[in-house]
Amino acid sequence: MNVVLVGLSHKTAPINIREKLHFPERQLPEALELLRSRYEVQESMILSTCNRVEVLAQTSNLPEGVRRVRDFICSFHKVSYDTLREFLYDFTQIDAVRHVFRVAASLDSMVLGEPQILGQVKNAFTTAQNVGTIGVTLGQLMNRAFFVAKRVRSETTIASSAVSISYAAVELAKKIFNELKGKTVLILGAGKMSELAAKHLASSGVSKVLVWNRTYLRAVELAEIFKGEAIQTEDLFRHIERADIIISSTGSPTFILNKDDGQRMIHLRKNRPVFIIDIAVPRDVDPEINKVSNIFLYDIDDLRNVIDANLRQRQREAQSAEEIVRQEVELFLEHSRARDATPAIVTLREHWEAIRREELARGKKRLGELTDEQEAALENLTQGLMNKMLHGPISELKRLSRQPANEDHIAAIKRMFGLKE
């Protein structure tokens, strides 16, 4: 099992770096195919969310595998490694397994215990399966990761209170306006994040929810759920001044709102303040808009203070969740080592059985014609000698397979007995 993971997250890189490495969903099949064909990665999947971009791969050589995945990330996004060096991390083997389990269980999320990440990991896995870049190694690893996430949610209360980026955005809006009663909210984008934000806003007493989306019918669907109003795609700037709060998460590759749009909006609002939360990656709103008087822009990184308050409530449960991850990492590696050792044991027996039969046939020729009893005695003698000779190395292979870091010892035994790596 040669597993490597290379990536960055909200813990290591600011949003302006993360958005440079974002993989749009439509480009994932192309990226996975490129990783397999040009970079000779045997298995792979790509997880790309607002808060992290990670490439998980199974390779024939660990150091070379890390280098190839790094080269792929830099080349695909046309960003130099020097630009990314301080932000990227890489994990191999047991560290990669532990990281994957922690991510799936939401122990590495900006909002500890948030439920969205598991769905995102499953979607990334399904995409890779459809492309054909998931094999035995990553298949077993990811299925175990999903089981670990389920254990964490069923055996702890880490996700007992629904918290997400969209929830944190609404909490921030409450702090700024004291209360949301009587406020008009404009949702830009009708995806899952926007739907969650609208759900939290509706329960917080806003008087009006406006929904705009590049696909108008989707805007209508979301608006109907919350008894809001859908805005025609081309009519955004006829209605934008109505909004006291704007929450944007569209997935657009370019800015939807810029500084000029902000100046026009404030003019139409007669200088009444507007609060904008941009939870999209790449960002929907040009940061320059913050220079316009009475516009208060917050992006996904600005939500940290709200999120930190929720983190403190979940730390105690996180300790129990981390113990579950520790147990599952050890169990997975024990099973993995056993799977790795089994082919070696089978090959060892087959290799020496072939040698035994060859030498037995050669000996029979020298001895001449033998009785059935003599042939049986020779068969039993050589079989017994082989079993005694292999008992030690086979027992050692089984023992080593239960330990977390014995690949070198197993490889040495293979070489000693003439087995190919």
**Residues tagged active-site:** 50
Please state the separation of Cα 303 from the chain's center in Å: 21
Amino acid at 19: E
CA dihedral over 361, 367, 368, 372, signed as positive or negative: negative
If one counts every other C-beta atom within 10 angstroms of the C-beta of residue 401, the result is 21
Q: Cα(174)–Cα(188) distance, rounded to whole angstroms? A: 19
Q: Are 333 and 406 in contact (CB under 8 A)?
A: no
208 exposed, middle or buried (CB, 10 Å; 0-12, 13-18, 19+)? middle
- Tokens 């403190």, located at residue: 312
**Secondary structure percentages of the chain, helix, strand, coil, to 5:** 60, 15, 25
Q: Which helix (H) or strand (E) holds 188?
A: strand 184-188
DSSP labels, 57-90: EE-S-HHHHHHHHHHHHHHHHT--HHHHTTT-EE
Q: Cα(189)–Cα(179) distance, rounded to whole angstroms? A: 24
Q: Cα(214)–Cα(235) distance, rounded to whole angstroms? A: 11
Residues sharing a CB contact under 8 Å with residue 246, sequence separation 6 or more, in sequence order: 185, 186, 188, 240, 257, 274, 275, 276, 277
- Residues listed for the chain: 421
